[in-house]
Amino acid sequence: MSHVPTITLNNGVEMPPLGFGVFQIPPADTERAVLEAFEAGYRSIDTAAAYQNEEAVGRAIAASGIPRDELFITTKLWIQDAGDEPAKRALETSLRKLGLDQLDLCLIHAPYGDYYGTWRALEAACHEGSVRAIGVSNFHPDRLTDLIAHNEIVPAVDQVETHPYHQRTADEHAMRKRTVQIQAWGPLAQGQHHLLQDPVLTELARAHDKSTAQIALRWLMQRQVPAVVKSTKPQRVRENLAVFDFELTDADMARIATLDGKTGPAYDNRDADTVDAVNGMKLT
């Protein structure tokens, strides 16, 4: 595999550009999936309390034999644990389940509940050393900017849905202006909207002897947008990581830019019904 560059966050922490995500992977399958990702070359794993598979991720980390300082582990705190003390307890629970003394990155999963209290708890954890970097997920620029205005630490990352059909360029600009690194979840549109059959991506894939998924991921890499990818198929797991041995031309990048707006977000976290539904999701 070609040299994989890292992304430097606003506090100096180095983050791999591609992470392996375990969203919707059943706990019984997660350990195997993470070990296969490690074998393929991934060193960044993205989980969350809401995924309910942190313990399986922890078992894979322990079984891998990979030195801890070569790994980058991210988790996210859920809404029901919002607030100073609940978030502190939730973070301790996540560390215990993962079998770790320190997280590389911890995110607030969504901008609901007392996330200002959660942020204070994460700031304290950062100062204490149990987390190397802290950030948010699914925050629009207005909520992100307000959080920055009223707190000490600027989020290192805002993980949001980003792919060729929903490019978030204005949001990305607002984040970069405030030194926040945008990170893409759903970089392949979660296999929806026929993104991987798009004629432009298909033509570019033929030209570069790559898959359409690799073209979409390479497009993000060249924009300095790290991404979280997920697959339980070993061939796809390896394929998604093989995006550092070629480059898209400026003309290629411009063609992909024309695809923006073909779809909206998978879910709108400003929609009232969505807010009700997400707040009603309780972890057991």
Burial profile 222-231: b = 16 or more Cβ within 10 angstroms, e = fewer = bbebbbbbbb
* Predicted local confidence at residue 192, as pLDDT: 80
Statement: residue 164 has pLDDT above 60: yes
Least confident segment among 54-63, 93-102, 169-178, 188-197: 188-197
Sign of CA dihedral 82, 190, 36, 243: negative
109 belongs to an annotated ligand binding site? yes
Per-residue model confidence as pLDDT tens digits over 216-232: 999 999 999 999 999 99
51 belongs to the catalytic site: yes
Average pLDDT of the residues in 157-170: 98
Is residue 92 in a domain?
yes
Dump pLDDT digits (tens) for 109-153. 999 999 999 999 999 999 999 999 999 999 999 999 999 999 999
7 domain-assigned = no
For helices 234-241 and 212-222, give the axis angle rounded to 10 degrees.
40
Under the banding of pLDDT at 50, 70 and 90, the label for residue 2 is low
Q: Given this model, what pLDDT does residue 4 score?
A: 79
Range with lowest mean pLDDT among 155-159, 162-166, 176-180, 271-275? 271-275
Give the chain's mean pLDDT: 96
CA distance 70 to 55: 20
Percent of the chain with pLDDT over 90: 92
**Is the pLDDT reported for residue 1 higher than 70?**
no
107 neighbors 157 (Cβ within 8 angstroms): yes
Cα–Cα dist 111/125, whole Å: 19
3 pLDDT higher than 80: no
In a domain, 109, yes or no: yes
- Of 183, 213, 200, 178, nearest in space to 260 by CA: 200
Candidates 51, 112, 115, 165; catalytic one: 51
User: Is 58 domain-assigned?
Assistant: yes
Q: Is residue 4 part of a domain?
A: no
Burial class (CB in 10 A: 0-12, 13-18, 19+), 99: middle
Is the residue at 1 inside a domain? no
pLDDT greater than 60 at residue 48: yes
CATH of the domain at 34: 3.20.20.100
Question: CA 19 to CA 10: how far, in whole Å?
Answer: 18
Residue 24 lies in a domain: yes
**Boundaries of domain holding 157:** 16-279
Q: Are 47 and 60 in contact (CB under 8 A)?
A: no
Using CA atoms, how far residue 186 sits from 161, 166, 267, 275, in Å, is 6, 10, 12, 20
Confidence label for 162 from pLDDT (cuts 50, 70 and 90): very high
Domain presence at residue 2: no
Number of domains in the chain: 1
Band the pLDDT of 49: cuts 50, 70, 90: very high
- What is the pTM (predicted TM-score) of this model? 0.96
Average pLDDT for 183-199: 93
